[in-house]
Structure 1
């Protein structure tokens, strides 16, 4: 349905009859262009959909305009437009918003709701905070008393500093099928464990599309995308409730158990980078010559270290009369499995390889027992009461509590990189302050798509400015190799691991080999102890 068609349908449903020309002129006044007006409404970004909702309200010529978080999804230019509209509008506006700067520019009175009572204060938000110091967190994020804590991301093989790239994208582009030009093009960037990145840009510029490609929601149509084989990425979507909308009859504990009970994240199973397409199937027809026979890979099961990369255990179908009319492929026995290097296998079986990589990444993430006590402790790091976690269905939780559940669930697998799409849209002021402090303390990388300079000004060092499908990065410190800086702890310092029942897994570590000088010193100490009459055992290490 077109934008103008949808608008006419909504207006007729409330008894408003206008010509297409009248509707179009109003939408033009709201800075929509002809392509957006006549195009599909599904093609509008979140910001433009919000602006369309505001335009629809104006058509009704209300005496009182009720606005619930009107700046959500709006870029800086459109927020300024909304401010000007409300200041000059003849109707009364009642606004619920967490955007302190917007409120300070627009409101003339503040109605404070506290302890089931309403009290009105004359003046702007800043004047209200002076009169009610306990409400300082409404105006300054740093004043929040709430605390969140993200889990430690854990060890990544081969990553010895926070500067080393764990994601690298080169000349990447993406174009939706049926569109006349790419939504994003010629994108180059990299992320590390030390990254703190703000993604900014006007509505419809391609910010969410860029991040969807990064997280695997979409497959790029061009360019190269590298991710560390063991990386774990948490993605909190722009519409955060989309994560739990189909599970409202479960408790938070039951939802986390359902989501991760297979050892994988069920919420990511329908991502584009996991769905096998016709092109993938065609590539998987590649024939490998192994031990004098022609084979096709039909399964990828495990991996092991091979030189500076990995090789993968594959099962096969054996080809007979290949290339002839009576060509036949017969599945082979498990005993016939063979190992193929990653560089050879990735071109034909990329998604199978990625599936094994993800399972290994989860295994390397210190497997967490999906038991009630562990889930309650994890959720407590996001301010969720134990009683709510195990005994309250999510349908009965407030919006703020549901968002905390989403944050807890998305970070369950100890991610190395957290991607937040418009977090200021779904978090209140106290929660935003808590999230800000949690990001500062987090040991992994963070990417934030936002229009809120207030939220990112003290958090991010790097900025990706997206305009018309292209990106300009600033403030970055991209390096080749490990880069400078302090070394991270090695795998010998990894956190404790547990099995599915919560039992500690004792690691089998090789003892460090002593140097010649250390061996001589140890022998000398042993001889001195024997001379003093102390008991010395013959099986002591040399």
Structure 2
């Protein structure tokens, strides 16, 4: 629903020109401009890392050790046969910036040197190339594409975005998002600004789309008519969120079979990257142990000694700072 801020930066372009600008070079410029892909000051400092580079002359077999700094990633990637991980080609800064000085480094090393986001950009381009979904980015192709989302050529090619209505701008946003032919589409409040005819067309398109669709919407009639699964996530009085699932799939019948509450012991936590952290259960102390710890921690506090995390938690719980 906040996608308008993208096209609002391009009000002087026609929808056709906007899409051709956005995908010029085979990558989505709007995706690159996201906050999550912007290079931080800390990463810029890491990218200045001086690397020890050992070079062996193929003619003389002479080995030379030099200091080099990475200038950029070229966009080439290959799988390392020994590590099974991706290696990325880099170009060094002058005076080692000639084509024969390019070299491949593994992902983990490049992350340490501040090139994580650059690697992700390469991954996206490689995935797009492998999908075979590239289409010539010509004015006629874009015009035809926009017509498929209900924006006639008159508005797609001959009107600036600033002159379009709210509903027409929604069509530009949808058309631009679909140019790379994604497998999964996530729509946040897609019914905003659309008239009845456009809503019907959007509903038909969602039904015919062969990929996955996730819709976040306050329009219950729209989602009920389209979605075989509905997830309503609200906090109960105890402040715990429990999904209220409605739909056809068998697994949803058992979605709430296991009762969850804040008293259940959590043994491990998995983050967004799949890293598993074991959570150690808190030991119940006896009165004797509490008395002993209280004495030891009070002595530490009095002497100004540093407490570890467990000791700080104990001191907080038993109000030993007073």
TM-score with structure 2 setting the length: 0.60
**Distance change in 2, residues 1:240/1:350 (3 Å):** closer
Pick from 433, 445, 456: which aligns with 2:212?
A: 445
Q: What does residue 305 of structure 2 align with?
A: none
Higher helix content, 1 or 2: 2
1:410 aligns with 2:177: yes
Shift in Å, 1:439: 2.1
**Distance change in 2, residues 1:422/1:315 (3 Å):** same
Q: 5 Å matches for 1:369-388? A: 369-388=136-155
TM-score with structure 1 setting the length: 0.38
Q: What does residue 14 of structure 2 align with?
A: 251
* Number of corresponding residues: 230
Pick from 88, 112, 121: which aligns with 1:355?
A: 121
Mapped partners of 1:471, 1:334: distance in 2 = 56
Mapped partners of 2:215, 2:241: distance in 1 = 15
**Distance change in 2, residues 1:315/1:241 (3 Å):** closer
1:465 aligns with 2:241: no
Q: What does residue 77 of structure 2 align with?
A: 303
Shift in Å, 1:293: 4.9
The DSSP-based 3-state class of the residue aligned with 2:179 is coil
Runs of 5+ unmatched residues, structure 2: 55-64, 252-322
Mapped partners of 1:296, 1:269: distance in 2 = 24
Q: 5 Å matches for 1:469-484? A: none
Contact 1:440 1:459 in 2 (8 A): no
The DSSP-based 3-state class of the residue aligned with 2:233 is strand
Runs of 5+ unmatched residues, structure 1: 1-237, 319-329, 478-542
Q: What does residue 42 of structure 2 align with?
A: 279
**Distance change in 2, residues 1:333/1:258 (3 Å):** closer
Q: Flag the structure with more relative contact order, 1 or 2, with Cα contacts below 8 A and sequence separation at least 6.
A: 1
Contact 1:394 1:402 in 2 (8 A): yes
Shift in Å, 1:249: 3.5
RMSD in angstroms over aligned alpha carbons? 3.3
Mapped partners of 2:150, 2:30: distance in 1 = 23
Shift in Å, 1:331: 4.3
The DSSP-based 3-state class of the residue aligned with 1:311 is strand
Mapped partners of 2:232, 2:211: distance in 1 = 18
Shift in Å, 1:462: 5.6
Q: What does residue 4 of structure 2 align with?
A: 241
1:336 aligns with 2:112: no
Contact 2:90 2:104 in 1 (8 A): yes
Contact 2:68 2:96 in 1 (8 A): no
Q: What does residue 266 of structure 2 align with?
A: none
Decide which moves more: 447-456 or 374-383.
Answer: 447-456
**Distance change in 2, residues 1:332/1:267 (3 Å):** closer
Q: What does residue 58 of structure 2 align with?
A: none
Contact 2:52 2:67 in 1 (8 A): yes
Shift in Å, 1:470: 8.4
Contact 2:143 2:153 in 1 (8 A): yes
